[in-house]
Amino acid sequence: MRISITLAPGDILGAGGQTVGGGDAAAFTGDNRTYAVSAQAFSVDVISISDGIYDSMVDQMLASGRPIEVPFKNYFCYTNLVANMGQTTLFNVASQSIDRLWGTARLQTYNAAASRPVAVNLNAVAHSIIKSTPAYFTYKGDTGQNYQFQVNNTLYPNWQSTKAADWFQHAKLAVGDQGNMLSGSVPISRKMYEQNMFAFVVSLEHHTDSDERFLSGIDTRGSSANCYFKSDNNGGAASQIIVFAECTSSLKIMANKVLEIVQ
């Protein structure tokens, strides 16, 4: 088993360098924002059946030519720089099951010096306590409207709305508030969703009451689907569009240690 972890650059840190000013106006300057990940630890549950019956069953199944199939989530990311939210972002997905499509946006100035958070000065000593969400992690939906995905010639959803409450409710239904491992991973208010933690989500798979993984999404193998994330401008500035395609891939384990991944 190989686990690969890609770390983001130091830009994700809320502050770095020296502080200038005093009181609540103290701000960080400089670009020496760095971090390190240390003391890593992982745990895994292991079930041991020592009588050999299970191993014999697996060997017989593999010897018969029937593979062991392990489904897993696979994510593909696409980005696009646009002048405003009156945009259409084109991306292509070839998968046996496209489960969900996620679209979000943040201002292109997310990494500018002026967008860095303000530090709160306590007792004349600047602490890394910030007054607002860092621009790097601020995903805004209020600069656009009428959000919609298109897969080939089909629109998801087939209606448009200018109201953030509709996008918020649609995203919660797509993620699944009940019986899903993502339950609770949503903002607690419409305003927080619209201005800080925006994500427009559509579900293309069959919903269950738990986390069983079925291949029930859109199958685009053999002909990569032309997909679009579309929106209208609502007074927004230059933005970075980020789209995720959430898919279910399969790991097939066959005899003689032969492995195959089906996207």
| Residue 197 burial (CB count, 10 A) | 19
Res. 183: pLDDT tops 60? no
CATH T-level assignment (fold) for domain 10-262 = Jelly Rolls (2.60.120)
What average pLDDT score do residues 103-115 get?
Answer: 82
Res. 62: pLDDT tops 90? no
Length of the chain measured in residues: 263
Nearest alpha carbon to residue 29 among 120, 115, 157, 136: 115
Q: What percent of the chain has pLDDT over 90?
A: 24
Q: Which helix (H) or strand (E) holds 92?
A: strand 87-93
Token pair listed for 115: 């967008």
Confidence of residue 26 (pLDDT cuts 50, 70, 90): very low
Distances (CA, A) of 220 to 135, 204, 243, 247: 36, 12, 18, 11
Task: Break the chain into its structural domains and give their ranges.
Answer: 10-262
**Which residues contact residue 236 at a Cβ distance below 8 angstroms, ignoring those fewer than 6 apart?**
84, 85, 140, 142, 143, 144
What average pLDDT score do residues 49-74 get?
Answer: 82
Which range, 8-12, 210-214, 229-233, has the best average confidence (pLDDT)? 229-233
Res. 232: pLDDT tops 50? yes
**Phi, psi dihedral angles at 73 (to 5 degrees):** -75, 140
Answer whether the bond into residue 157 is a cis peptide, omega within 30°. Answer: yes
pLDDT tens-digit map of 117-171: 665 555 555 555 556 667 778 888 889 999 999 998 889 999 999 999 999 888 8
Is the Cβ–Cβ distance between 252 and 66 less than 8 Å? no
